[in-house]
Structure 1
Amino acid sequence: MIRPTIIPKILAPNFFSLALVINLPLLEILYIAKLAFPHNTHLYQLPLQPYCTSQWSSSPPSSSFFMHAFILLWWCGLLVTSVVGGNNETDRLALLEFKAKITHDPLQLLSSWNDSIHFCQWRGVTCGRRHQRVIVLDLLQFSELVGSISPHVGNLSFLKKLSLSGSSFHNEIPSEIDRLRRLQFLQLYNNTHIGKIPRNLSHCTNLNYINFGRNLLDGEIPTTLGTLSKLQIVSFEGNNLTGSIPSFFGCLEEFLPQSSICLRYRSLM
């Protein structure tokens, strides 16, 4: 008697629906599952080895079987990527959380941020063509916005450029920004941010541009920024920073003139 098959809920409906699409017998689906997940015995509880030995010992599997195996393994790879790396819905929800933190939008600049159109078409949002994930959030021209930056911005894991200058964003810069490992361009110029410069920005190892000028930041410049090997431009001018200029700023002179390292006004006075 064949024992019932046990398949996790997250995979079960997908395995069976895929079997219907490619017209693959259940036993072959289970055998491919054994190949795909050799250490996960919960995916298959049938005695597959005897079946395989008795049925296929005299002749090798057909080419159609390998085609089915390839399709299933490819599909499983997409599933794992989606679970581990987030998906488009993650980005959409993060943007809506960002909008929820906007307390004043008199010109209705974010009125397009709703489900009537895809979030990749929302104003200020740019998505990559391949994965349809947010790679740019640029609200530089949205000078009438008032609010704070939602910590959910850290969920935009494909983000490369974040530009929120010239508005009235206040409160502290959320530490969750350090989760944006692909971030290259970070501009929060001319707002009213308070608090410290996030120390964990050093986790954003692809950063080459940081502009926090003309805010209300205080404290010292984190020495951890010195680990950002790709960093070329830094601007902290017009804040209330104290302490000395970290020695790593001298390295930036190799890339740009001293005037590009903006630490003027009350930054370090």
Structure 2
Amino acid sequence: METIKSIALQLKQVSHPNEWTNNLIHDNREGVKKLIASWQKQQQQQKDLQSAHLEKINYDISFKQYKLDLVAGIDEAGRGPLAGPVVTAAVIFGEYPIELMGINDSKQLSRLKRDNYAEIIKKHALSYSIHIQPVEQIDEHNIYQATKASMTLAVKSLSIEPDVLLVDAMTLPLPITQHSIIKGDTQSLAIAAASILAKTTRDNIMIEFDKIYPEYNFAKNAGYGTSDHLDALKQYGATNIHRKTFEPIKTMIR
């Protein structure tokens, strides 16, 4: 009879059910029951991941009028913070290699996973573009218009012109067929990829600002109005990267 340790090692090498795993289900040892239950759970999670990946791909493809149409996903990061730029990104995929599986709304992923996926996206994208909209533009035009302008510039900066735009909750002033999609980063692979590029870029920017303004803990709060950030504002006032048209900063500088 195989030892539990031996079974554990073998299960790590098995990715699909077979006669051996089917027989393990009838092993009455408690340790084996836990191992096979854990393995089955992992298999189901992998199936769910594959299914979600295919759904996102098929969702993007469904917007093509012709087979060779190029679909660009566009998203942003940083509309809500009190400090720092808003960052937008546009991504076009020509093919969908298995490495892209697991890409999702950037907010649903850990920082490590986002960083890893950002490199994978840049590697496999047919074209991608990232635009950083500074605080001055946000204060001059308001966050909605500044974000729209940034997304537009991100699309214009793509090395290949797309045939279809999938935009997360926005309509852009461009003569390209487009669809404004609510919570697009949970449905579209291209939008989810754009959200990851925008988020990772913005996080890295805020980490650099943290070195200049360490009192505000930007590396951790990314400029959002957390309690530590608000406390720092009360104690030290606003910096050059704070949005002067956002409260409580607007009231502070009157």
Q: TM-score, normalised by structure 2?
A: 0.30
> Whose helix fraction is larger, Structure 1's or Structure 2's?
2
Work out which of the two has the higher radius of gyration on C-alpha atoms and give 1 or 2.
1
